[in-house]
A and B are shown apart, each in its own frame.
Chain A
């Protein structure tokens, strides 16, 4: 049986329910009774209000839950700071911090709500002023302010880069009373950016300090990049961007061929799509010859030619060294050959009369008939003379190889030929030889060691007369002309000639003789060759037996 409560009891129950509602607890309901009075109506209304409030609360909780889930899910720390512009500019209170705080910086939202300065203190000391400035700027200007700074992680103590966006909320008077911030972890991005910057610095440093020319040329062969090794002058480097090699050559007053050659190679690389390497030898403004090993690397993306990278390494020193090495090798080789020849001379020509003397003395010791004894003694004298003569020849040959004391001077070939003709006057007269000098151009001037040229001309002319045809009057023609940078002297005769197929290799050899009917030691042509070679020149021979011989000297 339902027990009826007193009025007072009902009133009390109503008030305590209201108090619960006021505290946010919408669970309790009041117990209605059968008494039809005003209190009962109020109590019924209160119960309906409770139902309503409970529904709202559930709805609100759901929404809160939803909001929290969102805030937890997004990878940002959302926070709310209340300010008090009325009282203090420095007043600040965190009223909300979203959960990702812990994931990003190690602090829990409760840490911050308990100690409002904990987060400020965790900002990396170098960036503290920056953050404060940004904060006050938001308050004073009322503008949304972004700020990127570092925070020390609560546990790992690592520096975390944070990009913070502070949005001010204002009151009716336009004063900022609240700041809603959203901060995200940008450490990876900043690191990547820094790395890119470092990388660029690094590549710039390499490109700027490499002793290699580096250039990038676009599709129209214009420069889009040049390093200091390619063009030293920074102004010129800047000027060249957007211009091509023809512009450059014109500006620097260099030969157009330089640009032409580069353009050809670049187009070849562009058309073939392959690297191309070539030796670029050119004359600089200072007049030096430089050798650069260049390479074009065409860059093709998705089947389309985009641009080319050009490299150039200066190999002038290397090339000069290799030329010098070749020259030294050749000289060394010549010296070895000369030594071999000397060895040969000593073992043959010097040894030969020595052997004769030994043989003769052996015979004399054993006793000879008187007339043979006389002969042997005469022969002894002959052999001794032969030794003496060979030693003198050797001395002459050695002297011809060391042109140390001889000076280079300029003289006329005709003058030297006149002197030689005087020396050979008797032979010329006896043979009736006709000697003719033909000079190409007006000048027969020659700069060389005069005594050597005289000796060479003497040998060649005296040979031409000595080996004259028995049926013809000797005709000797000396022609002088310039061939490129060389002086060419040709001495042609109409003498007996020489079978070069048979003796070709030996004609300039020492003590080589090809005609025993004529006197001679086989020294002249050897000496001439030595002298010309020591002058850096050469001598060559052509001949038709029975018709004549042509010697060609190049100096």
Chain B
């Protein structure tokens, strides 16, 4: 049986490094994938309908294709997996808007830290209903 995939999408090189270090620490037995170009990520999601990583970590504020467009695409696909939003935005409206998507499991404000990744893990391992 192959390892469970986690896909992290973030355009910031710095944040990608932070994500990589922390996610690797918390999810050593998972298959971690990182994408820094949101357009590419959107194409990938469109091309892998029904075959997407069950867990995604998504940044919201990205140029050209924003996290919102990816969320819309997932909604169209009736996505069953879990998406953790990870954003630097402290804009309250963003949080409210994000919670409207059923597959959004949680919303974290950057920077990511070990406490957050542990929370993610706890949510993932809790049997979903």
Contact = CB atoms under 8 A, between A and B. Distances in A.
B13 A348 contact: no
A355 B15 contact: yes
Contacts of A60: none
A358 B22 CA distance: 14
Given A344-B91, A348-B89, 15 more contacts: A347-B90, A351-B88, A351-B90, A351-B110, A355-B109, A355-B110, A357-B111, A359-B15, A359-B110, A359-B111, A360-B111, A363-B18, A366-B114, A513-B63, A516-B63
Interface in A141-187: none
Contacts, number: 72
Given A359-B111, A359-B113, A362-B113, A347 B89 contact: yes
B37 interface: yes
Given A363-B21, A368-B21, A375-B17, A348 B110 contact: no
Contacts of B109: 355
A334 B89 CA distance: 23
Interface in B82-98: 88-91
Interface string A349-365: 00110111111101100
B14 to A, nearest CB: 4
A356 B21 contact: no
Interface of A: 343-344, 347-348, 351-352, 354-360, 362-363, 366, 368, 372, 375-376, 379, 382-383, 511-516, 522
B14 A382 contact: yes
Contacts of B1: none
B26 interface: no
B18 A347 contact: no
A376 B17 contact: yes
A382 B14 CA distance: 9
Contacts of B14: 356, 359-360, 379, 382-383
Interface string B23-67: 000000000000001010000000000000000000001011000
A356 B12 contact: yes
A347 B89 CA distance: 5
Chain A contact surface mostly: helix
Contacts of A379: 13-14, 17
B104 interface: no
B105 interface: no
A358 B91 contact: no
B91 A514 contact: no
A102 B110 CA distance: 112
Contact of A358 (B12, B64, B111): B111
A526 to B, nearest CB: 14
B112 interface: yes
Contacts of A351: 88-90, 110
B31 to A, nearest CB: 21
Contacts of A516: 37, 39, 63-64
A553 B63 CA distance: 26
A276 B14 CA distance: 72
Contact of A347 (B13, B91, B111): B91
Contacts of A356: 12, 14-15, 18, 88, 110-111
Contacts of A343: 91
Contacts of B114: 366
Given A359-B112, A359-B113, A348 B15 contact: no
Nearest to B59: A352
Contacts of B91: 343-344, 347-348
Contacts of B15: 355-356, 359
B51 to A, nearest CB: 26
Contacts of B88: 348, 351-352, 354-356
B25 to A, nearest CB: 9
Contacts of B13: 379
23 contacts: A347-B90, A348-B91, A351-B89, A351-B90, A352-B12, A352-B88, A352-B110, A355-B110, A356-B15, A356-B88, A356-B110, A356-B111, A359-B18, A359-B113, A363-B18, A372-B17, A376-B17, A379-B17, A513-B63, A514-B63, A515-B64, A516-B37, A516-B63
Nearest to A378: B14
B18 to A, nearest CB: 4
A462 B111 CA distance: 36
B111 A355 contact: yes
Most interface-central of A356, A382, A511 (chain B CB within 10 A): A356
A416 to B, nearest CB: 31
Contacts of A348: 61, 88-89, 91
Contacts of A359: 14-15, 18, 110-113
A344 B89 CA distance: 8
A360 B61 contact: no
A342 to B, nearest CB: 12
B88 to A, nearest CB: 4
A343 B61 CA distance: 14
A513 B39 CA distance: 13
Contacts of A514: 63-64
A481 B111 CA distance: 53
Most interface-central of B13, B14, B89, B91 (chain A CB within 10 A): B14
A366 B117 CA distance: 15
